Structure 1
């Protein structure tokens, strides 16, 4: 058996992003089940893994069902203690757990006013006093971690951990809702926006599902503030410079052009996600330097 991961809409489900990032950090590819937010009754769509009623949720290879992103994180850490979900250092791990737990239980004003929306970014957004209080608290605890572990890497505890997974959707909110931040906090947000795993998730959010109107806000929109993607364009036909899809290994039937060369993919999903942000996909970028 393999792990099974149950998630919601890529563009809007912040908790699902956390669940997916856990498996990326583990280097494990779970079987993904997508819950449709256009349908009523998320719990009903999870009947096969009751009593889970929300996303994300997972079924482990031994049949254990775990729901709630923080419970999933700790259970996966206990099953894969050497995978780096938490640092070995107990001092860093203790701080990381406090950060993740505060995110998990708090910042309700920010979460309510600024729901994650990876399809849209806004400018000149007005925030309530309660949301400003949440933002200030997040900046305080981010600065605490970054000042302590800046010499060990760009993430909260230096190296990527569950704490960063917990705050990835917050970085998306700050980027998407035009939040003015300190230099330290902005660098940390930019680290998330440039992260290939985050960029992969966002491309899936742009190609999968519908734009859900109830997430729209009455502000002027702007370009997504992450790294500008390389220019890649879907085309109708090859021949491709590669004989095998960089993701599936299958024969190319869909194509894109980048820098005057045509690359092939086995299916439309692989092609379209790659075209949106080629640098998000290391397997494709490796192909561009070797073919």
Structure 2
């Protein structure tokens, strides 16, 4: 039995759940997965049993005692894993690259609302271009500029934002699905980064398991 349990929501649309899940799968950190189905009359009560905020993801680590064995909020989970497993290099070693990676990850955590709401994560939705409003387009352009900056400054060693896979890539993984679903024809460098994330075995596993979910939500047109 693993010492970690990760509580997540529906894989088809729970974007915050995807972030620590794909990081732990890709980095081969063993964990047990518990899915709490969202959008049901019982969801709030079920989440209250496992999450202090009533939201997922939540990571339970059995040896952790001072917080009741629990870490919540996606970025906190990734930081906790980085502390536990420094050899996994969830943050770049170079201090300048690490500062940029943390800034990019935090900007994702707190921002890009119009992109997230205009292009909701829905792995059932057929691919096709969907225009955003003016603010959404500005945010989309900012995301691409940020990806470009990270790749140009620190991404020469591999296909990800900082060469190797980091917490910043985990934070942007759901955004990658949005660009792929709604973005239409992408700029070549954006397409290359999107394809690199989607090619991860962990991402392919998430997509495959999302496709097997028997529940109707969300519909393919949502």
| TM-score for the superposition, normalised by structure 2 | 0.91
Structure-2 separation of matches of 1:214 and 1:54? 22
Aligned length: 217
Decide whether the 8 Å contact of 1:2 with 1:61 is kept in 2.
Answer: yes
- Identify which of structures 1 and 2 has the higher relative contact order when contacts are C-alpha pairs closer than 8 Å and 6+ apart: 2
| Distance across 1 between alignment mates of 2:22 and 2:137 | 27
**Paired residue for 1:216, among 212, 215, 221?**
221
Once the two structures are TM-superposed, the CA of residue 26 in structure 1 deviates from its matched residue by 3.5
- Spell out, residue by residue over 1:195-241, the C-alpha distance to the aligned partner (whole angstroms, 9 max, x if none): 21111100000012423146624xxxxxxxxxxxxxxxxxxxxxxxx
Unpaired segments of 5 or more residues in structure 2? none
Q: What is the CA RMSD across the aligned residues, in angstroms?
A: 1.7
**Aligned partners of 2:214, 2:74: CA distance in 1, in Å?**
22
Paired position in structure 1 for 2:84: 79
Q: Indicate the residue corresponding to 2:124 in structure 1.
A: 119
The 8 Å contact of residues 9 and 209 in structure 1, kept in 2 or not, is answered as no
CA–CA distance in 1 between the matches of 2:61 and 2:218? Answer: 34
In structure 2, C-alpha distance between the alignment counterparts of 1:209 and 1:180, rounded to whole Å: 31
SS in 2 for 1:104: helix
Runs (4 or more) in structure 1 with deviation over 4 Å come to none
Change (3 A) 1:203 1:90: same
**Aligned equivalent of 1:198:** 203
Is the 8 Å Cα contact of residues 18 and 165 (structure 1) preserved in structure 2? yes
Cross-structure match for 1:156? 161
How far the C-alpha of 1:42 sits from its partner, in A, is 3.5
Q: Matched residue of 2:87: which SS?
A: coil
Equivalences for residues 136-175 of structure 1 within 5 A? 136-175=141-180
Counterpart in the other structure of 1:277: none
Name the counterpart of 2:28: 27
Q: Which has the larger radius of gyration?
A: 1
Is the counterpart of residue 55 in structure 1 residue 56 in structure 2? yes
Deviation at 1:149, TM superposition (A): 2.5
How far the C-alpha of 1:163 sits from its partner, in A, is 0.5
Q: TM-score, normalised by structure 1?
A: 0.70
CA–CA distance in structure 2, aligned partners of residues 198 and 185 of structure 1? 17
Which stretch of structure 1 is more off in the superposition, 39-48 or 95-104? 39-48
Q: 1:164 to 1:124 in 2, by over 3 A?
A: closer
* Cα distance change of structure 1 residues 137 and 51 upon mapping to structure 2, 3 Å threshold: same
| Closer, same or farther: CA 213–78 of 1 in aligned 2, 3 Å | closer
Query: Which deviates more from structure 2 when the two are superposed, residues 123-132 or residues 149-158?
Result: 123-132
| Residue number among 102, 125, 139 corresponding to 2:107 in the alignment | 102
* 3-state SS of 1:6 partner: strand
